[in-house]
Structure 1
Amino acid sequence: MAADAEVRVAVDERPSMLRRWVRLPVWGRIGIVYVLSRLVTTAMFAFASLLSAPDSRFGAFPSLGTLAAGWDGQWYWWIATYGYPSQLPLDSAGRVAENAWAFMPVYPGVVKGLSVITFLPWPVMAVVVSLGCGFGSALLFHRLMRTRLDAGRSMFAVVLFCIAPLSAVFQLAYAESMFLLLLTLALLLLVTRRYGWLLAVIPVMAFTRPGVLAFALLLGLHLVVRVVTRRRDPLARREVLLILIGGALAAVAGFAWMVIAGLVTGRPEAYLQTELAWRAAFIGEQPLVPFSAWIQGGQFWFGDGPGLVVVLAVFVGSALLLFVPAVRRLGVDLRLWVASYLLYLFAVFFPQTSVFRLLIPVFPLLGAVPVPRNRWYRGGVVVLSLALQWCWIFVMYGLANAYWTIP
């Protein structure tokens, strides 16, 4: 009681605006931060539209709706309208061309269902769903951070989450926002050891966006840690069973879309060939050999010798990052998720400009940034985040005039 009284006195001595801010419920503070950050992002999109040149894929002065539903948003809109092709489209050389099978069905399905109910156009509802999922993600991210950080650092981590360089996806017709909501929930359930609920989240996550195989690896590593530390952290048989079931479910669900695509099209390699079609524009037709794509990407972007050096530096740097003291404060589970997801990306992804968007799921690392409390440091981080966000929006949606400007 005495401590509570001291806190109230401290709050009462602060300036009135700050006093009101502190007295707001956490969800209210997060809501204000989220709305303000989205208004800033909207202003950036509006400015990018004014700077858009005629040679942009969006043309001169595109509307905000056109930008929001652009790029992969067009594919999700197509899926919601026409579904998936039973015959794979081919290019002039007879190879599988880019097609809808590269995109999972949950996001376009949810948006379509809500647009039918509300009579709102698909692009409008897509933005509404993304915004809602983004806000839910911010709320859950705060709860996730509170398992490892104090209240002040957790709130600043949420600020960074809302203004991050790629936070524009919270208002685009992309599945990232929904996937983040599900992933944050799954990580929170894992950290708080509510394993049973994971069995409901994992299948939905698997059909929202690729990446659930990394979660299967995370569950396996999590079980190893629990077994090793069972003397000081008792591990019940029921927990072992639920973790094993969750890991198996994530592994099966991670391959399920490949099987479905093969059954519908009559070509077992349908999904794999579809994914490879996107990298063909960079390196031509190449088979999928795990981890080789990063070497190929390094050679493509930087040349043979320098490319290998860059790729090696990325690999080593990513590994060392997990042992930085501020990152270690996030706990074993979140660090294992980052390691699992990065390993997944290194195994299957060809590095190009989409890599920045595909790195969004390592968002728990934002919790390491607020550790220093210096105001100048934090102010600099905010300015840098907003500057990088503007660069991404301008290049990907303002210029959008080169084959490599892919968000």
Structure 2
Amino acid sequence: MSADTAMPVRAPEPQPADGAGTSRRSERVREALRRAAPALGLYAAARLTGMLTMAAWAWWIGRHPRTTLGLAWDGTWYTGIARNGYGQVHPGAGWAGLHFSDVAFFPLFPGLMRGVATVLPIGLINSGLLVAWASSAAAAWGLYAVGERLHGRRAGTLLVLLWGLLPHAIIETMSYTEPLMTALAAWSLYALLTGRWVWAGGLSLLAGLCRPNGIAVAAAVCCAAAVVLWKDRRARRNWRVWTGAALSPVGWLGYVAWVGAREGSPLGYFAVQRGWGSRFDFGYDALMFIRHLVIGLSRLGYYVTFALIVAALLALVFLALDRPPLPVFVYTLVLVVIALGGSKYFASKPRFLLPAFPLLFPAALAMARARQRTVVVTAGALAGLSFGYGAYLLLVAPMPM
């Protein structure tokens, strides 16, 4: 499927009466949800089993599962922002020369946490988990929608299942931003593939308020718009294309500009990131860490991370050979470059790649063509790895996720 055929630019159509239009849209949503229901059921079963596995382990070692899911690592920072707003700065205990500022974290997720906690009397920890779980469900539906459109229902279902059985899939049920980012990205890409430019731009704007690598969604929207505007003269008169492209980077640019004004420098956000030890070094730090793994000994999680990075690079090659639509490939490529090109936090790189779901297309297509028995055995093996390793990461591994 080429980028042109996948992204039709539709001329404005006559709008039906409000009642008829609402009824028609509701029927389309119900039909889409009915088609996605098997994939969503499999995803829910996978993640529920993973959480129960983690919960049993947590109770066994004397830890509370809810607190562990809601306050582990970055979850503590998001809860603090939701409760008190921005302004926390901590010295990097054990990290020489570093200082950690909470403005490194983008505002959409803690904002949603605070909003839910204001409406529902469930507290901030439960609110964060509710937002994360709802985002995971929306992401699974979005993955299915993109997969079904590009490769059919079976491949779409297997894509969702694979995403729910990744070794780091436990993060999809934690108070982290990756589920929300994935949901916004998937539906933005789906909007592009179906010619809904304003929706694509609006969702990209929200993705840019969610995570630093949300800029990958804007890159996909802008590249798609540039190609369509160049190839199709009629598109140049379509305000929806221009609006979608203009909206797409606003969230990311707006937050970076706000941090810059707060820090007193246009590049203030990147100075904050350097305070965390994060900078883009074209992968030099990651290569040095891999060299250390090859010639020395380290913890299990780092070797798993190395293996997952290799798998991601191979999947990117296979994805490129499959010639996906332009926005899908641009989005994935930008995510991979940001994740692997950044310094520090080597063990977190698989988490940074969680939103890069198109990397799973080659595996989903291979499974879609395989025999049922092969699919069941493969899914069972992945489930065992995902449930066990996820609990290990959250409860045992002494490294940031």
Q: Please indicate, yes or no, whether the TM-score normalized by the shorter chain is above 0.5.
A: yes
Percent sequence identity over aligned pairs: 20
CA pair 245-129 structure 1, distance change in 2 beyond 3 A = same
Distance of 1:398 and 1:276 partners within structure 2: 28
Distance of 1:305 and 1:243 partners within structure 2: 49
1:111 to 106, 110, 113: 113
Distance of 1:50 and 1:364 partners within structure 2: 36
Partner of 1:55: none
- Structure with max Cα Rg: 1
Distance of 1:50 and 1:387 partners within structure 2: 20
1:253-274: CA deviation from partner (whole Å, max 9, x where unpaired): 3333222123224455542233
Deviates more, 1:43-52 or 1:33-42: 43-52
Distance of 2:113 and 2:310 partners within structure 1: 40
Number of corresponding residues: 357
Q: Post-superposition shift, 1:214? A: 2.0
Equivalent residues in 2 for 1:34-53, closer than 5 Å:
34-50=43-59, 52=61
Partner of 2:328: 334
Matched AA of 1:216: A
Equivalent residues in 2 for 1:4-403, closer than 5 Å:
25-50=34-59, 52=61, 61-69=62-70, 70-85=72-87, 88-90=89-91, 97-223=99-225, 225-226=227-228, 230=231, 236-238=235-237, 242-243=240-241, 245-266=243-264, 268-279=266-277, 288=279, 290-291=281-282, 294-303=283-292, 321-324=315-318, 328=322, 330-350=324-344, 352-371=346-365, 372-400=369-397, 402=398
TM-score, with structure 1 as normaliser: 0.76
SS at structure 2 position matched to 1:98:
strand
Distance of 1:29 and 1:224 partners within structure 2: 36
SS at structure 2 position matched to 1:324:
helix
Unpaired segments ≥5 residues, structure 2: 1-32, 297-302
Deviates more, 1:130-139 or 1:316-325: 316-325
Q: Post-superposition shift, 1:318? A: 6.1
Unpaired segments ≥5 residues, structure 1: 1-23, 53-60, 281-287
Is the 1:104–1:207 contact (alpha carbons within 8 Å) kept by the matching residues of 2? yes
Distance of 2:311 and 2:44 partners within structure 1: 34
Q: Post-superposition shift, 1:81? A: 0.8
CA pair 243-322 structure 1, distance change in 2 beyond 3 A = farther
Matched AA of 1:255: L
SS at structure 2 position matched to 1:84:
coil
Is the 1:216–1:248 contact (alpha carbons within 8 Å) kept by the matching residues of 2? no
CA pair 235-340 structure 1, distance change in 2 beyond 3 A = farther
CA pair 117-321 structure 1, distance change in 2 beyond 3 A = closer
Q: Post-superposition shift, 1:316? A: 9.5
Distance of 2:73 and 2:266 partners within structure 1: 27
TM-score, with structure 2 as normaliser: 0.77
1:147-182: CA deviation from partner (whole Å, max 9, x where unpaired): 111222222222222333232223211111111111
CA pair 315-170 structure 1, distance change in 2 beyond 3 A = closer
Q: Post-superposition shift, 1:326? A: 9.1
CA pair 317-366 structure 1, distance change in 2 beyond 3 A = closer
Partner of 1:12: none
Partner of 1:8: none
CA pair 375-297 structure 1, distance change in 2 beyond 3 A = same
